[in-house]
Amino acid sequence: MNVLARSWPSVAFRVITRRSCNCNAARFSTSSYIRKQEPIQVNGISYPRDDYTNVTPTILSKVARQLHLQPSHPIGILRSLIEAHFATFEAINTLSPIVTVHQNFDELGFAPDHPGRSLTDSYYLNRQHMLRTHTSAHEVEVFKKGTERWLLTADVYRRDEIDASHYPVFHQMEGAHVVPRSEALATFEASNAILEKKLSNANIVIMDDTKVGASNPYQDCHDPLLAEAATRNLKNSLNSLVLELFGGIANRAGAGEPLQVRWIEAFFPFTSPSYEVEVMFEGKWLELLGCGVVKQATMDRSSVPDKMGWAFGLGLERIAMVLFGIPDIRLFWSTDPRFTQQFKAGQITSFKPYSKNPPCYQDISFWLPESSSGFAQFHENDFCEIVRDVAGDLAEETALVDTFVHPKTGRKSLCYRINYRSMDRNVTTKEARDYTQQIEEAAKAKMGLEIR
Ligand code: DAH
C-alpha cells in the first residue's frame, strides 16, 4: 500500500501498490462468525453463502446507517456542498451497496488477478455478490440510463488495517460528464472558456506537469483535439471544485496564501488518460480523487458508444476530516449527541472535542500456524477483522510491535498492540482484557494462531 493510502482512507485502487494478491492462499471464511448457515439477508434480499462469504454482522450493520443522507452529518453536508457546486448534475444517492463482482470489477476492466479482488481486501456475500469497493461499480448502469451529467454518493467497503484514518466503510462520490461525440467539442470548449476565466482570477496555483503519451495516452478512437478538450474540461471542472472546497481554508491559514493543487499521472483500468489530484494542506499533499477520460469500452458496455467524456471518484471522509477538523474517522459513526448535534446542514464548522478518554493498551503475541496446519497464510486484515468484530469502534488502532523468529525451529511469532479507546466514554481495563481474551480465542479458532 502507498504512503498516502496508509495515512488516509484510500480513495483509489492503485494497481501495483496495494498488497500483493493471495486470493487463494489467504482464503478466510468468516462463516463460523455467523454461526447459522442460513442465507445472508440484506434489505429484504437473500444471498446464499458459499466459500467466498466473508462479510461479518458488524460490517452488515453499517449498511443501514446512510450517513451521506443525513443533512446535518458532516458527510451529508459535504455531499450537499458538492452537489450545489455541480448544480446541473443529477444526484443519485440511494443505490444498494450490494453489487455483482461483475459490476465492481469485470465490467470496468479490472484484471482477473487484481489485488482488490482478493478476500483479504474486499467483502463478499458469495462468489457472485459483494459490497461495492468503489462507486465506479455503478458507472455502466447510470450511463445505460442515458444520464450524461451525474453525481453518485454512496457507502463503500474495503477490508483494511485499524487506525485513526482507516475504517472498513467510507463514502465516495462518483461524478461524470459525457456528451454525444458530435456535440462534445463545442460543449467542452464552451465550459472551458467559463471555467478558465474563473480560475485565472482565483488565488490558486495549479501544478500540472503531466504528459499525455505512451504511458497515459489519449484513446485511439478519439480525435486528439476532442480528447484534449475533454481532458482540459475534466481538469478545469475539478480544479474549480477544489477551489470551492479548499479555497477558504487556504486563505484562513496563510492570510492570502494561494491554494496549491497538484495533478499526477495515474492508471485506472477504466479511464485513459488517468490522473490523481492532490491539495496542499498544512504542509502536506493530501490525495483527494482519481479521475480520467472514460474508456470507450465502458461507453460500449453502457450501450452509448457515440458518447465520450470524463469521470472522477473522490473520498468524502478525508475531505470532511480536513474541512471539519475531525481527528478520528470513527467519529463519523458516533451516535453521541455531543457529536451529531454539533453540525448544521449547509455549514462547515470546526469539530469541538467533547471528551478525552485515555487509551487502554493490550498486547497479543502469537505463533503463526505452521504451513502444514491447513490454516490460511496469516494476513493482517484477517486479524483486524476479528478485532473489529469483537471490539467494534472501541478498537482505535492495531499495530504490529514485534516480530520474532525462533532461532532453532524457524517458527515466526508476532506481537500486536491493540489500543482500545472510546470517543464517548471511558474503557475499563477489565473490559479491554475481556475483549483481548475474546480476540485471542477467535484468532485461535479461525486463523490457527497459537497464543504465547
Ligand atoms: N474508483 C476509483 C477508486 O476508488 C476512483 C476513480 C478513478 C473513479 C478514476 C473514477 C475515475 O470515476 O474516472 O479508486
pTM of the complete model: 0.88
Q: For 151-196, what is each residue's pLDDT tens digit?
A: 999 999 999 889 988 999 999 999 999 999 999 999 999 999 999 9
Q: For 81-113, what is each residue's pLDDT tens digit?
A: 999 999 999 999 999 999 999 999 999 999 999
Q: For 355-409, what is each residue's pLDDT tens digit?
A: 888 999 999 999 999 888 889 999 999 999 999 999 999 999 999 999 999 999 9
Contacts of 51 (CB under 8 A, 6+ apart): 27, 29, 127
Give the mean model confidence (pLDDT) for residues 238-262: 83
Residue 263's pLDDT band (boundaries 50, 70, 90)? very high
- Going from the Cα of 42 to the center of ligand 1, the distance in angstroms, rounded, reads 26
Is there an atom of ligand 1 within 6 Å of 14 CB?
Answer: no
Chain position carrying cell 496563510: 254
CB 156 within 8 A of CB 132: yes
Say if residue 20's pLDDT is above 50. no
- φ, ψ of residue 400 to 5 degrees: the values are -75, 120
Which of 131, 263, 268, 318 to mutate to test ligand 1, by most ligand atoms within 8 A of the CB atom?
A: 268
Say if residue 75's pLDDT is above 50. yes
- Going from the Cα of 97 to the center of ligand 1, the distance in angstroms, rounded, reads 16
374 Rama class: left (phi>0) / alpha (psi -120 to 50) / beta: left
CB 395 within 8 A of CB 337: no
- Going from the Cα of 12 to the center of ligand 1, the distance in angstroms, rounded, reads 6
Is there an atom of ligand 1 within 6 Å of 313 CB?
Answer: yes
- Going from the Cα of 227 to the center of ligand 1, the distance in angstroms, rounded, reads 19
Is there an atom of ligand 1 within 6 Å of 177 CB?
Answer: no
CB 180 within 8 A of CB 226: no
Contacts of 413 (CB under 8 A, 6+ apart): 365, 366, 367, 368, 403, 404, 405, 406, 452
DSSP 319-363: HHHHHHT---GGGGG---HHHHTT--TT----------PPPEEEE
Is there an atom of ligand 1 within 6 Å of 13 CB?
Answer: yes
